Amino acid sequence: MEQLDTTDRKILAHLQRDGRMSNADLAEKINLSPSACLRRVKRLEDDGFIDGYVMLINQTAVGKPTNVFVEITLANLGEDTVDAFEKAVIECPDVRDCYLMSGDADYLLRITCAGPEGYENIHRMYLSRLPGVARIRSSFALRTICKKTGIKLD
Instruction: Kindly report the average pLDDT of the chain as a whole number.
Output: 95
Is 82:130 a contact under the CB 8 Å cutoff?
no
Express each pLDDT in 90-126 by its tens digit: 999 999 999 999 999 999 999 999 999 999 999 999 9
Express each pLDDT in 22-67 by its tens digit: 999 999 999 999 999 999 999 999 999 999 999 999 999 999 999 9
Residue 1 is predicted with a pLDDT of 52
Task: Give the neighbor-by-neighbor strand order of the sheet with 107-113.
Answer: 95-100, 107-113, 66-74, 133-140
Q: Could you tell me the CA-to-CA distances from 46 to 8, 39, 41, 51, 150 in Å, in that order?
A: 13, 10, 9, 9, 19
Percent of the chain having pLDDT more than 90? 95
Domains of the chain by range and CATH? Answer: 6-46 (1.10.10.10), 66-140 (3.30.70.920)
Residue 64 is predicted with a pLDDT of 97
Half-sphere exposure of 4 (CA within 13 A, CB side): 17
